[in-house]
Structure 1
């Protein structure tokens, strides 16, 4: 597999994952996602989960459907989103909130290192240089 094809596959897999996550925000995993909303967010918790789910569906769809000309911008938007929601992962760890099988401090702490990987994935899979 050449590099261009590998990036396309990575971008589509990330997009599909975001679409699935966004749908889960709105349906079966809504309660679990509430565990990640920091206490300082000024919106109602459920609204925050819904809005972030909608954003994930939009970003995921954009990653899957965007043309080559706009991929880099979409990747940057996805990376910015992953950065923006990172405080939720920190909040889940600090407040010892169990969700998604993250039921120990060690698991919640380990999850923190996955966010930089998502940021890298979004940027590298959409970089056409």
Structure 2
């Protein structure tokens, strides 16, 4: 059975920093920036925007804590965090298309530029956890458990 490769200090630091970022963002969802986040919920989403903000804040807290404290499960957590960043991307697109100002994103150019940072977050999650690099080892471990 193949086990995930050891993680470099750079990856560990990047993983913890990303986790801290998510913990701060999740806390902001539930407290000081709730209205700003609500403004970013797409109008086409058939859910109450406050429910979406609270739920995504809780998810960010869980994912942030997992990145920081669950190093043993870093590969699985990396895939989940990357999927989360992909899942929230339509909200960023809607913010650009609808011209919604929030968090200082008050021009179309700034909102468009922000869209290019979402893939960076996906890559950051996959690289810092070694998820992409260690995907074969994860597949093998999962197959053995089945």
TM-score if structure 2 supplies the norm length? Answer: 0.84
- Give the secondary-structure state (helix, strand or coil) at the position aligned to 2:106: coil
Q: Does 1:66 align with 2:50?
A: no
For 1:111 and 1:35, the matched residues in 2 are separated by 16
For 1:37 and 1:97, the matched residues in 2 are separated by 10
- Give the secondary-structure state (helix, strand or coil) at the position aligned to 1:62: helix
For 1:35 and 1:111, the matched residues in 2 are separated by 16
What is the aligned residue count?
Answer: 126
Q: Report deviation, 1:29.
A: 0.5
Q: Does 1:46 align with 2:50?
A: yes
For 1:67 and 1:56, the matched residues in 2 are separated by 17
Structure 2 gap segments, 5+ residues each: 1-6, 135-146
For 1:13 and 1:32, the matched residues in 2 are separated by 23
TM-score if structure 1 supplies the norm length? Answer: 0.94
1:50-105 Cα distance to aligned partner (Å, 9 max, x none): 0000000000000000133x101100000000000000100110110101110000
Q: Report which stretch shifted further, 82-91 or 40-49.
A: 40-49
Which position in structure 2 is the counterpart of 1:111?
114
Q: Select which of 27, 33, 38 maps to 2:37.
A: 33
Q: Select which of 87, 90, 102 maps to 1:87.
A: 90
Structure 1 gap segments, 5+ residues each: none
Q: Select which of 123, 126, 142 maps to 1:123.
A: 126
Task: Provide the aligned C-alpha RMSD in A.
Answer: 1.1
Q: Select which of 7, 19, 36 maps to 2:11.
A: 7
Displacement over 2 Å in runs of 4+: none
